[in-house]
Amino acid sequence: MNNHQQARIGFVWPGGGSEHDFYQFLEETGDRARLFITCTRVGGDGDNDHDVEALEQTSRLDWLVEAALRLIPLKVDCVYWPCTSGSFIRGRAHAEEQLRVLTDTVSAPSGSTSLAFIEALRYSGFRRVSVLSTYPEPASRAFESFLNEFDIEVLNMIWLNAPSGWDAALFEPELIIKHIPRAIHPDADVLLIPDTAMPSTFAIREFESCAGIPVFTANGVTMWHAMSLAGLTLSDSRFGTLIAGDLGGKVGSGLS
């Protein structure tokens, strides 16, 4: 950790409407980390950024580097790409290459939301999942393919067809709870809810009560992993089974 009183987490931010979710989470967990956001370019026209073609643009390495350069003067302890779809859309190799260029640019450990899902699954020992996706079907299928590259079996998946992150940001917890029973497979170890644009951290306990199994949301795994990369331990039962530390295992170190 740096010489500052708080750990410093740098986000390369793709937009959407969930910024408050991260700031409030840090406040509620003791203000041990400070969040710095630098915005990156995204594909599409603002109304269709969940289209596969738009997501492939969003995932561009040069755009990530362009934004990450602005984090260098801030001396962050880790740099994070908190974009689920922009990190899984081109598959595992590209997701891992994104972390390599971020680490090389900022000289700090790096992570991304899609790979944080993988870290959380490894940590917990889970391999059979249900997925409740906010995306349209093509992007949802791309997430399934990404999980398959890590030998994660998707037993059931539903999608809610949000055309953009801005639309997903408007989804209330009640809507997600309504669809959880339809998403759950009886043999699933865990329910995954991707999309960093949708505020979710403060609803994880409600989701788990409805699902009857652990629930990993995009924002939950992002903060769980980012704080670990920044040198902080996290255990808080208010934010679901993963963040409570109830699953055992060892948090991965990301790329440094």
Whether the per-residue pLDDT at 255 is higher than 70: the answer is no
Where would I find the H helices in the chain?
19-28, 52-58, 61-68, 84-88, 92-106, 113-124, 137-148, 165-168, 173-183, 204-211, 218-229, 240-244
Q: Please name the amino acid found at residue 206.
A: E
Q: What is the pLDDT of residues 84-137, one digit of tens each?
A: 999 999 999 999 999 999 999 999 999 999 999 999 999 999 999 999 999 999
| Residue recorded with tokens 């991304």 | 112
Residue 97 lies in domain: 7-114+219-235
CATH number at residue 66: 3.40.50.12500
Judge if 166 and 146 occupy the same domain: yes
User: What is the structure's pLDDT at 2?
Assistant: 60
Judge if 43 and 135 occupy the same domain: no
Is residue 26 within 8 A of residue 97, CB to CB? The reply is no
1 is a domain residue:
no
Judge if 47 and 166 occupy the same domain: no
Whether the per-residue pLDDT at 1 is higher than 60: the answer is no
Region 244-254 average pLDDT: 69
Whether the per-residue pLDDT at 40 is higher than 90: the answer is yes
Q: Specify the pTM.
A: 0.95
Judge if 133 and 97 occupy the same domain: no
What is the overall mean pLDDT for the chain? Answer: 95
Region 20-47 average pLDDT: 96
Judge if 213 and 223 occupy the same domain: no
User: What is the structure's pLDDT at 256?
Assistant: 39
Q: How far apart are CA 24 and CA 34, in angstroms?
A: 11
